[in-house]
Amino acid sequence: MKISILTLFPEAMQPYLDSSILGRAERAGLLDVAFYPIRDYSLDKHKKTDDYPFGGGAGLVMTPQPVFDAMAAARQRHRPSCKVIYLSPQGRRLDNRLARQLAGEEELILLCGHYEGIDQRIVDQLVDMEVSIGDYVLTGGELAALVLVDSVSRFVPGVVGNENVHEDESFEDGLLEYPQYTRPADFRGFAVPEVLLSGHHAHIEAWHKEKALEKTRAVRPDLLGEEQKPEV
């Protein structure tokens, strides 16, 4: 999957993409990420990328010119049909379903905002979809873009070892995942649930289901169509 990222802070993102499973995916050619550092495209003599909002208000707003020019450069690396996603708290909420759908795209351009926002003409002219990673406000879109790349990449065939790995994961069957254990069976007196050592597959499966339901009911009753309990 080919992804281009427009950001003011590529150096904050690169190390994460070079590490662990995403790093391995990139070295294996399954993932091809390129950065377009927005400041490099600024025609301002001080390489400015932001300015005061018309009509007043707090904070600075990203100006159109550097983003339009960075986008034109990024577009050259992609097919004309490639979708552009702007990471913002105003966007559609990212979930596994959207991540799987985006993994089918083959190519994506991601735009990370900063400051208090970006000039609306950028969104109107250049962006196909706004995506949010949750109902909170980050200082910029970089962490959100990393979350999106990570969650989407897991649905790119070959990125996570086993093709069946998604089946038991949280959300795949509308439930959170059951708890997992590994060796030793007894760690400092804390024992692994007996059933998992029994070798009885039907019992183990029933236990997984029961624990997944228990956990979901306690933490995310909304996934079961039940009312959210008041916060503790």
Q: Judged by CB under 6 A, which stretch of 25-33, 60-68, 86-94, 149-157 contacts ligand ADE?
A: 86-94
Name, in order, each residue with C-beta under 8 angstroms of 40's C-beta and a sequence gap of 6 or more: 47, 70
134/193 with CB nearer ligand ADE: 134
Out of 4, 49, 88, 216, the only residue in the binding site for ligand ADE (CB under 6 A) is: 88
The answer to whether residue 137 forms part of the interface with ligand ADE (CB under 6 A) is yes
3-state secondary structure of 75: helix
Asked if 6 and 38 count as a contact pair (C-beta separation under 8 A), the reply is yes
Asked if 42 and 48 count as a contact pair (C-beta separation under 8 A), the reply is yes
Calpha distance 49→38 (Å, rounded):
8
Cα atoms in the 13 Å half-sphere on the side-chain side of 202: 0
CA-wise closest residue to 11 among 27, 35, 32: 35
61/144 with CB nearer ligand ADE: 144
- As to burial, measured by CB atoms within 10 angstroms (0-12 exposed, 13-18 middle, 19+ buried), residue 106 is middle
Q: Judged by CB under 6 A, which stretch of 46-54, 63-71, 133-141, 213-221 contacts ligand ADE?
A: 133-141
Out of 70, 110, 141, 154, the only residue in the binding site for ligand ADE (CB under 6 A) is: 141
Out of 1, 3, 67, 87, the only residue in the binding site for ligand ADE (CB under 6 A) is: 87
The answer to whether residue 133 forms part of the interface with ligand ADE (CB under 6 A) is yes
- Please give the structure tokens belonging to residue 180: 């997992």
The answer to whether residue 144 forms part of the interface with ligand ADE (CB under 6 A) is yes
Q: Judged by CB under 6 A, which stretch of 7-15, 76-84, 135-143, 150-158 contacts ligand ADE?
A: 135-143
Binding-site ranges for ligand ADE (CB under 6 A): 87-89, 132-134, 136-138, 141, 144
